Amino acid sequence: ILGAPGAGKGTQSKRVAEEFGVQHITTGDILRANKDMETDYGTPREYMDAGELVPDAVVNEIVEKEVGEADGFILDGYPRNLDQAEFLAAITDLDAVLYLDVSESELTRRLTGRRVCSECGDTYHVEFSPAEEAGVCDECGGELVQRDDDTEDVVRERIRVYHENTAPVVEFYRDEGDLV
């Protein structure tokens, strides 16, 4: 599933995973859970908190392992550039590529207003889907926080990085005829 940051990849791919009984593989969540892991290129945090892409070698290794262990999957947040798309083509065959097309002003509003539960990971929006009690998760009572990279400056950079690196991936799959 492809789309700019804030397009709704996480929300929609979770639904697809449930509906079809396949594994939901999301590189952003895996990286966030391993933010301070030492790699040959430093830690993921150094890239993520600035809105930059984590180096391909790190992400490709994660994806190869997850895809290899899955009996059916939906990939969310990967591939994010043409080199990753080529790596993916070499390790598996895709049935379909879904693209979520959302305007830029809408993306910014969604991301900067997003809040996530620090306990269960549920997502809220201060305006569009607020919690019953401000700052408290409806599901588990956990504290709602803003992701480190959902601040306005970093959001702007993430959208720029998307246009530079990931928009060409959409065109790549469109040319292949796989895009939905």
Q: Which does 120 bind (CB under 5 to 8 A by kind): Zn ion, ligand ADP, none?
A: Zn ion
Is 15 a catalytic site residue? no
CB of 132 to ligand ADP, least distance (A): 25
Q: In the 3-class helix/strand/coil scheme, how is 124-143 assigned residue by residue?
A: EECCCECCCCCCECCCCCCE
Catalog residues that contact ligand ADP under the rule CB under 6 A. Answer: 5-6, 27-28, 31, 47-48, 51-54, 59, 77-78, 80, 84, 149, 158
Q: Which of 32, 35, 147, 156 is catalytic?
A: 147
- The residues in 91-150 that bind Zn ion, with binding defined as CB under 5 A, are 117, 119-120, 122, 137, 139-140, 142
Is 9 a catalytic site residue? yes
CB nearer to ligand ADP: give 48 or 144.
48
Q: Tokens 């994660």, residue?
A: 62
CB nearer to ligand ADP: give 123 or 142.
123
Alpha-carbon 127 to chain mean position = 21
Is 14 a catalytic site residue? no
Question: Residue 98 corresponds to which amino acid?
Answer: L
| Distance of alpha carbon 75 from alpha carbon 120, whole angstroms | 21
* CB-based burial, 19-54: b 16+ in 10 Å, e otherwise: eeeeebbbbbebbbeeeeeeeeeebbbebbeebebb
Q: Which does 158 bind (CB under 5 to 8 A by kind): Zn ion, ligand ADP, none?
A: ligand ADP
Is 160 a catalytic site residue? no
